[in-house]
Structure formats: C-alpha cells, structure tokens
C-alpha cells in the first residue's frame, strides 16, 4: 500500500512543474509514436528494395494502407476516447469510475475487432480497386491484407489499450509496448520477406505477430499490481451510456484517422487517373515520410492530454492555461524544424524507400509541394488535442472533418481542373488545407477554451 500511494502521488499532475509533467509523459509518447510508425514503414522500406518488383510491391501496400488506417482508427476511437475520460475521473478522485471506463473500452475493442475482420475479408478486393489499385499492384495489395486481417484483433487491442497505461502516468511502460513489437518486426521482416521469400505476405505476417506480442504486454500490465487502474472483471460489464461517452470523445482521433485515409484514397485515385502507378508510388513514399515527421507532433500533443485533463478535472485552471501555452510553443518549434529538413533533403528521404531515378524525379517535386505549409499542422494538432483533453468532443470532431473532408476532398477534385493544373492541383490541396484548417481549429480553441476557463475561475 505505501508503494501504491507513492505511485499515485508521483502521478498527481496538480503538483510540481506543469512543463515537466507534460515532458515526462510526452517524450516517451513521442518515442512510442515514432516506433509505432516502424510497423508499417519498415515493411515499405524492405518491400521497396526487393529485386525486380520492389516499386510495384511498395505501391500495392500503399494502396492497401488507407484501409489499414481506417481499421486502426477504430482502435483509436476507443483509446483516445476512453483514456482522457480516465484522466478526468482520476483528477476528480473517482478511480472506480475510471476502471469502468477502461473495462468498457476493452469490450468495445473486442466487438469492433471481430466485426472489422469479417467485413475486411468480405469487401477488401473491391475496395482496393476503388482505392487506386491497378492490374500490376492489386495482387500485392490483396496479399498483404489477406494476412494482416487475420491478426487484426491483436492490432486493435495493442493500439486501443496502450493509452490507458499512458493516461495513468506510466509513459515509459507505454513506450515499451510499442518498442517490443517494433523491434520484433525489424527482426522478422527481412527473415520473412527475403529469407523465406514470402514478399508482401511475409511483411504482413511480421507485423501481426509483433502486434500480438505488444497486445499481450499491454493486457498483462493493466491486469497486474503495478497499474493504478486495473482491468477487473466487474468493470467489464457493458454500460451503453458509458460506451457512448467513450465513442463520442474518441470521434476526434477516429475522424482524424479516417479523414486522412479518405483524402489518401481520393488522392491515390486522382493520381492514378492523371499520372498512373508512378505517381501513386511517389505518394506512397510521401505519406510514409509524413507518418514519421508528424508522429512526434502527434505524440507530444497527445502526451499532454493526461496532464491537461487531470488538472481540468481537479479545477486547476491556471495550470491548464499554462499547459496550453507550452504545448503550442513546442509544437510550433518542432514543426518548423521538420519543415526545414523536408525542404532541404527531399531526395535523401525518398531514397530510403526506393532508389529508382524515375520515382526520385517526380517524388522530390511532389514532396516539396505537399509539405510546403507543414508548419501550420502544429496549430491543428495543438488545438484538436486540447479540445480532446478537456472532454470537448464536438469541437474536436468538427475540425477533423473540416480540414480533410470539407476542405481536402473538394480541393483534390477541383484544383486539377483549374488552370489545367492536373497532378500539381492534386498535390496543392494539402498545403491549402494545412493553413486554413490549422488556423481555424486553433483560433476557435483559444476562444472557446479561454472563455470557459475565465468563467470557471470567476465562479
């Protein structure tokens, strides 16, 4: 009991330095997010360098990836919805309620995982054609998904329950969840892809086996004695109202992932129409690079959620404002540094995935257009995750939809026809959505949250 009390005291975010608390949770979260990207990025790096058909295999997996992202978004729906609620309830001094939230999130993940696996096998092939597959790439895309879907439930459990470890303040443990799987994936990929000659199927098998190990690690910790909040049988009893609250708050992260996939689907289809497999392959590389460079930004802003949510629940509104300022400054600094690297070294980044001169030529121009206004993504991530931290689901969901669906998809369809821009019109849609969507989200957050915090302090 004394040890458990000491852990709870350490993870009381109303005490000590606010910036230090955020960094203590955010830095391991950033590492976890970066390593998590390796699950799919490493597959593409190895496949892109296969002899003979490397570029086609890379492009095929790129066509399949939006569907994988949509499936994973359902894991984020439960994790990003339940974990902030746990933080708020912990801040209010309601650990029993927090455990019920965690238990109901686990039940939701199991139900959604089984349903999505069945739906994936039924509809994967027609969806892949719709997403931009060609006669040359459909076999690679379909082969990857055929294996990946078999382990989908493990993927969802690992991704969906890990935020509940981080929300309790065990950031390093949450990081190890991802590191364990990623290291295993790094080992298995070359063995399965090259050693056994299994190609895309081997890459998918390495991924799901690695995610299975991560899922076991997460569940073992949350059922063990070290956790503050534990998975207890009584907390697994389904509560429809509670599930609704989890899904409502989780819609922000879910919508962000799904809308990213929707835009990628429209982008791939448009690029296939205007430029063919070469441009779809170049965009696969660009999206892979984007995953890497935006994950620290996402990890930092998400890492701040438990601290902001806890202080909000504990009515420490001055500390909440301090945390918002710190998150904004750090997000802008990181986005600026990343933008500089992207603009200066596009060729070196593309060569990590494939060294064909033809792909390199179109990829460099495409990458610079795609990322030219990346700095404004800092405002999007900061604003949206602050909304989620404070339990404001409606605003967070709206701005996910606004940037990608309301702005992004129409621009992808419209810009190619203006001034005969073609391919460049498709590429230009991203920077436009970055500046308009990012500023709209952040400025609205400042107005809504600032007004509420001032009102609560006066009350």
Region of poorest pLDDT, from 195-199, 353-357, 365-369, 438-442: 353-357
Residue 50 is given by DSSP the state: S
Mean pLDDT, the chain, whole residue set: 84
| Beta carbons of 311 and 328 less than 8 angstroms apart | no
Question: CA-to-CA distance for 86 and 305, rounded, in angstroms?
Answer: 11
| Beta carbons of 83 and 167 less than 8 angstroms apart | yes
The greatest distance separating any two alpha carbons of the chain, rounded to the nearest whole angstrom, comes to: 70
**Which pLDDT score is estimated for 339?**
95
**Which pLDDT score is estimated for 220?**
93
Question: CA-to-CA distance for 145 and 359, rounded, in angstroms?
Answer: 25
Q: For the residues 251-266, what does the mean pLDDT come to? A: 76
Question: CA-to-CA distance for 129 and 139, rounded, in angstroms?
Answer: 11
Region of poorest pLDDT, from 44-58, 292-306, 406-420: 44-58
Q: For the residues 92-114, what does the mean pLDDT come to? A: 91
**Which pLDDT score is estimated for 33?**
67
Using the predicted structure, report yes or no on whether residue 5 has a pLDDT greater than 50.
no
Question: CA-to-CA distance for 412 and 423, rounded, in angstroms?
Answer: 10
Query: To which H or E segment does residue 63 belong?
Result: helix 54-91
Region of poorest pLDDT, from 33-47, 275-289, 348-362: 33-47
Alpha-carbon dihedral 109, 299, 289, 113, rounded to 10 degrees? 0
**Which pLDDT score is estimated for 337?**
94
Q: For the residues 90-114, what does the mean pLDDT come to? A: 91
Smallest Cα–Cα separation from 253: which of 106, 396, 57, 437? 396
Region of poorest pLDDT, from 43-47, 144-148, 239-243, 436-440: 43-47
Using the predicted structure, report yes or no on whether residue 12 has a pLDDT greater than 70.
no
**Which pLDDT score is estimated for 28?**
73
Q: For the residues 243-262, what does the mean pLDDT come to? A: 80
Other Cβ atoms closer than 10 A to 276: 12
**Which pLDDT score is estimated for 447?**
92
**Which pLDDT score is estimated for 40?**
61
Using the predicted structure, report yes or no on whether residue 222 has a pLDDT greater than 50.
yes
Q: For the residues 281-294, what does the mean pLDDT come to? A: 84
Q: For the residues 174-195, what does the mean pLDDT come to? A: 86
DSSP codes, 71-94? HHHHHHHHHHHHHHHHHHHHHTT-
pLDDT exceeding 70 applies to what percent of the chain?
94
Using the predicted structure, report yes or no on whether residue 289 has a pLDDT greater than 50.
yes
Under the banding of pLDDT at 50, 70 and 90, the label for residue 24 is: confident
Label residue 365 exposed, middle or buried (CB < 10 Å: 0-12, 13-18, 19+).
middle
Q: Which residues contact 244 (CB under 8 A, 6 or more apart)?
A: none
Region of poorest pLDDT, from 98-107, 126-135, 144-153, 247-256: 247-256
**Which pLDDT score is estimated for 10?**
47
Q: For the residues 417-425, what does the mean pLDDT come to? A: 85
Smallest Cα–Cα separation from 401: which of 411, 390, 409? 409
């Amino acid at each position: 009991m004394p040890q458990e009390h000491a852990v709870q005291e350490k993870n009381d975010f109303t005490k000590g330095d606010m910036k230090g608390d955020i960094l203590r949770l955010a830095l391991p979260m950033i590492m976890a997010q970066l390593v998590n990207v390796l699950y799919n990025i490493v597959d593409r790096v190895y496949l892109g360098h296969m002899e003979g058909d490397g570029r086609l295999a890379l492009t095929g997996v790129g066509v399949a990836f939006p569907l994988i992202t949509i499936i994973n978004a359902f894991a984020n729906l439960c994790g990003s919805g339940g974990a902030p609620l746990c933080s708020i309830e912990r801040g209010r001094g309601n650990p029993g309620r927090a455990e019920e939230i965690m238990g109901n999130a686990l039940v939701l993940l199991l139900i959604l995982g089984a349903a999505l696996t069945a739906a994936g096998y039924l509809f994967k092939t027609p969806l892949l054609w719709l997403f931009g597959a060609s006669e040359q790439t459909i076999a690679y895309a379909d082969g990857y998904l055929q294996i990946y879907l078999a382990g989908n439930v493990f993927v969802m459990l690992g991704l969906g329950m890990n935020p509940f470890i981080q929300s309790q303040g065990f950031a390093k443990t949450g990081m190890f969840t991802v590191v364990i799987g990623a290291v295993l994936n790094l080992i298995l990929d070359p063995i399965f892809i090259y050693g056994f000659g299994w190609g895309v199927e081997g890459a998918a098998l390495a991924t799901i086996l690695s995610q299975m190990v991560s899922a076991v690690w997460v569940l073992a910790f949350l059922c063990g004695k070290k956790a503050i909040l534990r998975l207890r049988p009584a907390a697994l009893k389904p509560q429809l109202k509670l599930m609704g609250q989890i899904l409502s708050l989780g819609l922000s992260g879910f919508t962000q992932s799904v809308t990213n996939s929707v835009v990628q689907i429209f982008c791939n289809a448009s690029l296939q129409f205007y430029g063919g497999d070469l441009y779809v392959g170049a965009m696969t590389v660009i999206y892979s690079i984007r995953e890497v460079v935006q994950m620290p930004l996402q990890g930092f802003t998400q890492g701040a959620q438990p601290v902001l949510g806890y202080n909000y629940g504990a009515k420490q509104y001055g500390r909440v404002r301090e945390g918002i300022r710190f998150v904004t400054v750090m997000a802008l600094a990181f986005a600026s540094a990343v933008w500089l690297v992207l603009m200066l070294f596009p060729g070196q980044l593309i060569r990590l995935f494939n060294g064909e001169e033809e792909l390199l030529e179109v990829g460099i121009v495409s990458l610079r257009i795609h990322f030219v206004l990346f700095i404004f993504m800092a405002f999007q991530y900061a604003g949206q995750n602050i909304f989620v931290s404070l339990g404001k689901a409606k605003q967070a969901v709206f701005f996910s939809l606004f940037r990608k669906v309301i702005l992004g998809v129409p621009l992808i369809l419209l810009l190619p026809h203006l001034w005969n821009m073609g391919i460049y019109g498709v590429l230009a849609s991203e920077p436009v959505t970055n500046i308009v969507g990012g500023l709209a989200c952040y400025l609205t957050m400042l107005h809504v949250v600032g007004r509420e915090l001032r009102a609560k302090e006066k009350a």
